[in-house]
Amino acid sequence: MKISALSIPDVLLIEPLVFHDHRGYFLESFHQARFEEKLGRSVHFVQDNHSHSVHRVLRGLHYQIGKPQGKLIRVTKGEVFDVAVDLRQSSPTFGHWTGGILSAENHRQLWIPEGFAHGFYVLSAVADLHYKATEFWHPAGERTLRWDDAKVSIHWPLSQPPILSDKDGQGASFEQAEKFA
């Protein structure tokens, strides 16, 4: 497993070893001890989630106040542009975003620690995104940062307007959004 920091050092790109042969491939998608060794801290996942979306769907940017979630994200079908926005006021990268393409073909994963908003845009006909979370879903703490906020200025790879839920279309601006210490 190769782990490298993105432009925000706490957000990690994980590239598992993939063993191909005439039957297909095998990869180890998660190994607790290796992950924690690379991360430098203990992580306890409590929930796994699966999101199925069609082309041009943009989900996010989601986060939870009070019970923030760290997320380990992977795509098992299709391709997405995946993004994390640093909402930790004490961080030198506060207000910055980072991201990249995750796909079933590249097998890459993204570790997004607590204190970040997360979102993704579907590039393929359909995409299945799976993620492990360090905290249970907490509806009362759920928040949405506006996906197209000018201050954050994410460079989404859009060719047409995205398909949004009502909630995601009404996200808070960066200035109005609740943040972490």
Bridge pairing between strands 2-5 and 12-15 = antiparallel
Q: Which of 107, 118, 121, 131 is catalytic?
A: 131
Would residue 131 show up in a list of annotated catalytic residues for this protein? yes
- Answer yes or no: are the C-beta atoms of 131 and 104 closer than 8 Å: no
Q: Which of 50, 62, 63, 138 is catalytic?
A: 62
- Active-site positions read 62, 131
